[in-house]
Amino acid sequence: MSQELPLHVTVKIPTGTEYQQPTGLFINNEFVYPKQKRTFKVISPVNEEEITSVYEALPEDVDVAVEAAREAYKSWSVAHPSKRAAVLYKLAELVEKNATLLSEIETFDNGKSVSNSRGDVALTAAYFRSCAGWCDKIKGNLINTGEGYLNYTQRVPLVCGQIIPWNFPLAMLSWKLGPVLASGSTTVLKSAENTPLSALYIGKLLVEAGMPKGVVNIISGYGNPTGAAIASHPKLDKVAFTGSTAVGKLIMKAAAESNLKKVTLELGGKSPNIIFNDADVDATIQHLINAIFYNSGEVCCAGSRILIQSGVYDQVVAKFKAATEKIKLGDPFDPETFMGSQVSEVQLSKILSYIEAGKEQGAKLITGGKRCDKKGFFLQPTIFADVDNNMRIAKEEIFGPVVSVIKFETVEEAIELANNTEYGLAAAIHTLDINKAVHVSNNITAGTVWVNTYNDFDVMVPFGGFHSSGFGREMGEEVFQEYTQIKAVRMKINKPDSKM
């Protein structure tokens, strides 16, 4: 649609908070109009009403943003690490200062509970602060090849394109921007079309933090054509994408067919959550809740396949059902609410179609399975038991609060079931036997294995997947390998003239 829209509009959140929401493209530290001044609506899943519209970037706008990033690279890539650290430390401070507002924006735009949003904001600030500490520690090596040569490597920053998802807009933005700012890279970041608001607001904080113009450029737009233009852009050195496996394949193809740019992909999952007979059942139940119903189930590494050993199967299912039915679902601005809405009507419809598929294929519906009779895209937390691992609900990523419970007998059967998936993002093991925990962890194909916990992240622990869950890592020291390229220098050195 075409519409004249101010570059900042007043938005009123249901809590009564009013604030100035940027609507333009954030390029060269300014909010600017796109060339065609095209906009799209942002609908709140909380009440199904329009929050505002924002301007849509098209491929010609991506070109402008890329040029800004390339120009900024000339100075940012060689800036003293302390300058980059100062921006990151200040940005972390500003995120914390604006934590209440950012949490409410995130909840209004995404539908997640405000308690979940507060956790996202805290992780965002913590990760920016962690990356600040890495600025002067991204280094190469001196290589000894014998007399007559000086050999060393450098880690060279990149001009990046980044595409983030709608389920964790702020947290995923920090996972992308943190290593860019720390490494001396620059970027063009596209937010998800469902949830563009918090990313644009971060643009304001970046300016306040002292970031030089052009280092980070934030644009709103759809996967096609905007995301496609980033993935195929010949002047970008790298593209990072978090989202579905299907789109990840398109990103990788576009990167290969353009300029063979570096790629990192954090994609889908169908993660196994394994409970052995010797688990602490009462403690495990809460981990099951967090694994699948946190963030309304819209989590790439959600523990959506619960594998339970036969000796505790009935006990765990009964206690899990009881705990699930006590989950507070509803007004996401209520601090006591655990589950808010799904992100959109499209996503809700997709989840409901999987619930019908589960029933049709013979899975036993234990609880939930229905849309709530209220305004907004709310869905009951749903448990299917007696599931066969070949059913659609066990094989395909649902991306919602729907879990499949599968029975197993032996340790080796659990490992086989866990690995019987195209994905490999995460897994969890619940046992009080350290030997069993180590053995199963070592034999599960997954980028992250949690033991006696779930969705338990730390900024120093790398995160990423195997197989159809993608490749590359977020967070930890490993992420800086993704945002730099190694350059080797080999210098011939002659012995000095002893007479000089």
| Position 500 confidence tier, pLDDT thresholds 50, 70, 90 | low
Count of domains forming the chain: 2
Same domain, 217 and 89: yes
Q: In this structure, what CATH number is given to the domain that contains residue 405?
A: 3.40.309.10
What does the pLDDT look like over 443-468, one tens digit per residue? 999 999 999 999 999 999 999 999 99
pLDDT for 198 beyond 90: yes
> Can you read off the two tokens belonging to residue 492?
């011939």
CA dihedral sign, ordered 394, 396, 398, 399: positive
Q: Which domain holds residue 137?
A: 8-267+465-486
Rounded to the nearest integer, the mean pLDDT of the chain is 97
Quickly state the pLDDT bin for 8 (edges 50, 70, 90): very high
The verdict on 350 and 386 lying in the same domain is yes
Residue 244 in domain = yes
Secondary structure element (H or E) that encloses residue 487, with its range: strand 484-492
Are 286 and 384 members of one domain?
yes
Provide the 10 A C-beta neighbour count for residue 84.
28
Residue 150 in this model has a pLDDT that exceeds 90: yes
Looking at the annotation, which residues are catalytic? 266
CA-based nearest residue to 458, from 164, 122, 198, 191 = 122
**23: in domain:** yes
- Is 26 a member of any domain? yes
Whether 86 is in a domain gets the answer yes
Task: Please check whether residues 237 and 316 belong to one and the same domain.
Answer: no
In a domain, 19, yes or no: yes
For 217-229, how does the pLDDT look when each residue is reduced to its tens digit (9 = 90+)?
A: 999 999 999 999 9
Helices (H), 111-151: 114-134
Averaged pLDDT, 23-42: 98
3 occurs within a structural domain: no
Q: What are phi and psi of 480, to 5 degrees?
A: -75, -15
* CATH, residue 191: 3.40.605.10
Does pTM top 0.75 for this prediction?
yes
Residue 457 resides in a domain: no
The answer to the question of residue 294 being in a domain is yes
Read off the pLDDT of residues 421-440 as tens digits, 9 standing for 90 and up.
Answer: 999 999 999 999 999 999 99
Alpha-carbon span 160 to 6, nearest angstrom:
29
Q: In this structure, are residues 474 and 266 in contact, taking their beta carbons and an 8 Å threshold?
A: yes
Pair (337, 442) in one structural domain: yes
**How many residues can be counted in the chain?**
500
Same domain, 133 and 258: yes
Q: Are residues 195 and 278 in the same domain?
A: no
